[in-house]
Amino acid sequence: MRKAIGIDVGGTYIKAGLTDENGNILKKKQFPTMAEKGSRDIVLKQIENAIDFAMEGLTESPAGIGIGSAGIVDDYGVVFESPNIPEWHNIPLKKIISDKYKFPVTVENDVNSITWGEFLYGAGKGYNTIICITMGTGVGGGVVKDGKLMRGNKYSAVEIGHIPIDYKGPQCKCGNYGCIERFVGKEYIVENAVNAIKKGEKTLIFDLVEGKLEEITPKIISAAYRKNDRVATDILINVGICLGALFSGLVNLLNPEVIIIGGGIAQNVPIMFETAEKTLKERAMKILVNDVKVIPSKLGLDAGIISAGALVFQK
């Protein structure tokens, strides 16, 4: 069976794996993106390190390398812009990687890649029109409409994280104000927890990090929620409300059958899904929303690797 190298380039981590044609992961590992260093060369070196890991031990050449990258990606594999990776602009990523490794290379926007993977192998399998949201360093989105991936005129359809929901809201890294990413992204969730602690609210979040506020992560907040912590629960409910408000507009526009939420922040937090679906059904047009489901990614935290590998076999 043919094998592919799948690389998922995010704002915080680069995930690498070796996959087969059935969407199985044979090996995997994650590397820090090092985006905070502000150098494209450092990020490129980390991508090469990830590919080298996936190739270790191979006795025959892979079918190709699939890369899902944060940012706007054109048909030639050039990454034009990525708000969450400084200096990640106008990068001819496909050419750089294919020149170095001499294998077929496919590059796609990371969330488009994941959306297609969920449609083929995951929670979107069997549906005709799906919306996929990923929550991590940033908030991304993709749409398969009538069985086809939407890419848009400038390859940037469904930049969900940068849809404004409050025109007077805080400024986003993209330069706009009130983007959904500023309400449900990683930094916002952590910021809410830190602010609650500084106001003197009692929470297990403080205990779990032993008072080291800089160590608070969405994973810590989720752990506190699962122990019935009120502050953590309130934070996740608010995230669900914001997502539900966003989803109502997307449902009115695209009329999907299912909305899939993935990414590290979305793992094992049913209250967020329940609140998002409740808010969605309260706000969207009734005739469109009755049968819409809000569900977690089936591919889970491996979605980026599986989907990037699938690019090799699907194109």
Q: Supply the pLDDT for residue 10.
A: 86
**Strands 64-69 and 130-135, bridge-based pairing:** unpaired
Q: Supply the pLDDT for residue 212.
A: 97
- pLDDT tens digits, one per residue of 199-214: 999 999 999 999 999 9
- pLDDT tens digits, one per residue of 80-134: 878 778 888 899 999 999 999 999 999 999 889 999 999 988 999 999 999 999 9
Q: Supply the pLDDT for residue 27.
A: 97
Average pLDDT of the chain is 93
Give the span between the Cα atoms of 130 and 144, in whole angstroms: 5
Per domain, the residue ranges of the chain are 3-116+302-314, 126-297
- pLDDT tens digits, one per residue of 4-30: 999 999 888 999 999 999 899 999 999
Give the span between the Cα atoms of 243 and 295, in whole angstroms: 13
Q: Supply the pLDDT for residue 174.
A: 86
Which DSSP state fits 214? G
Give the span between the Cα atoms of 308 and 94, in whole angstroms: 13
Question: What homologous superfamily is domain 3-116+302-314 in, according to CATH?
Answer: ATPase, nucleotide binding domain (3.30.420.40)
Query: So what CATH class is 126-297?
Result: alpha beta
pLDDT of 72 > 90? The answer is: no
Helix axes 186-198, 218-225, angle to 10 degrees: 60
**Contact between 190 and 217 (Cβ < 8 Å):** yes
Asked if the domains 3-116+302-314 and 126-297 are classified in one and the same CATH topology, the answer is: yes
pTM of the model: 0.83
**Contact between 71 and 88 (Cβ < 8 Å):** yes
Q: Supply the pLDDT for residue 18.
A: 98
In Å, how far from its chain's centre is CA 153?
Answer: 22
pLDDT of 315 > 70? The answer is: no
Which DSSP state fits 225? H
What percent of the chain shows pLDDT beyond 70? 99
pLDDT of 61 > 80? The answer is: yes
What mean pLDDT comes out for the span 27-51? 92
Cα separations (Å) of 209 from 111, 184, 204, 215, 297?
A: 31, 21, 9, 6, 28
- pLDDT tens digits, one per residue of 228-277: 999 999 999 999 999 999 999 999 999 999 999 998 788 779 999 999 99
